[in-house]
Structure 1
Amino acid sequence: MRRSPERHEKTKLLIIVVMMMFPLFLLSAASVEGHKQKSITKKDKCPVCGMFVYKYPKWVAVIEFADGSEYFYDGAKDMFKHYMNVPKYTPGKAGQEITSLSVTDYYAVVLIDAKEAWYVIGSDVFGPMGHELIPFETQASAQEFLEDHKGTHILRFSDVSEETIKALDEAQQ
């Protein structure tokens, strides 16, 4: 039984489309090269609050140090607390030893560079520790989330201060 010429053409077209899309897939995978997904175990606890991180995969944040050690958090807020006071949470280490900071993009649920992320605060979405900085890879995604979830501000990494973190914590009380 022979295929119809029309079906043969559709198959060829499908193969061409798949071949054209494959390089785009490779490029998108390469864009997160420095922030590969981490293998979090059931033993990994947030050094700030003590919660088990594996329960909250959508909220994972990571700090990596030059010695290869990694610390996992159940939200960007706790990662910032550690980043702003390294000796308190990791005695013997210094902020200058940090080699990578990653947060999970709220929509894409992939790790992204924390220093390049856009953070929404004041929204009606809560993280495991209550009011949270909601991270996004793009400003457009952050803006969409802000509008959809009654957020109050979009911040960049350098805009997040100890006062920002304190205000988020106090909003829970």
Structure 2
Amino acid sequence: MIRRSFAAILPLCFSLSLAACQQTPQTPPPPHEITASTVSVLDGMSLKDYPGPKAQILYDQGEPDFFCDTLGMFSVYLKPEQARKVLAVYVQDMGKADWQRPAGHWIDAKTAYYVVGSKKLGAMGQTFVSFATAGDAQHFQQAEGGKLYRFDQITIDMATTDGGVVNDQNM
């Protein structure tokens, strides 16, 4: 009798232990809001002092990196020497945020739409303007020019901070 009970319980215990071993996707940490003391990791510029979309990268260790411009975020994120584990990347939805004083409206950078090469200038000049929806990105593109990209279409060659995107005659 005990042997039969044990035989009936054994598969249940095995199933429960397998379920406990499976990894569940971890919820990424939420974005940080920009304060008066938030500065760009690249040049120390205050994020509150400049127009256009901002970005942030959150890591498994240490403080997040903030960027006064999405172009700067891509230039860091896409570098092969980036060694810290990235937990989340956020950009601002410029379909909702105010261009001159963007605040809040953070979205997952990997799901955003980007208009590259528009006439509209960000904190560092040319920028990758981020949007939550394709419709908002296309509307902006029609008004300001540029070319529409998804996160995984942007390359390190496009994300140079030496004016490379400005000199691209294909946009």
Q: Which residue of 2 aligns with 1:21?
A: none
Q: Which residue of 2 aligns with 1:94?
A: 83
Shift of 1:105: 0.9
Q: 1:168 to 1:142 in 2, by over 3 A?
A: farther
| Secondary structure of residue in 2 paired with 1:78 | helix
Alignment of 1:13-28 (within 5 A): none
Q: Is the 8 A contact 1:36 1:111 kept in 2?
A: no
| Secondary structure of residue in 1 paired with 2:43 | coil
Shift of 1:60: 1.9
Structure 2 unaligned runs (5+)? 1-26, 98-104
Q: Is the 8 A contact 1:102 1:113 kept in 2?
A: yes
Q: Is the 8 A contact 2:72 2:161 kept in 1?
A: no
Could you say which structure has the larger radius of gyration?
A: 2
Structure 1 unaligned runs (5+)? 1-32, 88-92
Q: Which residue of 2 aligns with 1:48?
A: 42
Which of 109, 118, 121 pairs up with 1:123? 118
Q: Which residue of 1 aligns with 2:153?
A: 159
**Count of matched residue pairs:** 133
- Which amino acid counterpart does residue 38 of structure 1 have in structure 2? H
Q: Write out the 4+ residue segments of structure 1 that deviate beyond 4 Å after TM superposition.
A: 33-37
Q: Is the 8 A contact 1:131 1:168 kept in 2?
A: no
Q: Which residue of 2 aligns with 1:105?
A: 93
Which of 114, 121, 128 pairs up with 2:109? 114
Shift of 1:136: 0.5
Amino-acid identity (%): 27
- Which amino acid counterpart does residue 90 of structure 2 have in structure 1? S
| Secondary structure of residue in 1 paired with 2:72 | helix
* Alpha-carbon distance between aligned partners in 1 of 2:161 and 2:62, rounded to the nearest angstrom: 32
* Alpha-carbon distance between aligned partners in 2 of 1:105 and 1:142, rounded to the nearest angstrom: 10
Q: Which residue of 2 aligns with 1:70?
A: 64
- Cα deviation digits, residues 42-64 of structure 1 (max 9, x gap): 33221123311122375221100
Which is richer in helix? Answer: 1
Shift of 1:130: 0.4
Q: Is the 8 A contact 1:66 1:98 kept in 2?
A: yes
* Alpha-carbon distance between aligned partners in 2 of 1:47 and 1:135, rounded to the nearest angstrom: 19
- Which amino acid counterpart does residue 153 of structure 2 have in structure 1? D
* Alpha-carbon distance between aligned partners in 2 of 1:86 and 1:79, rounded to the nearest angstrom: 14
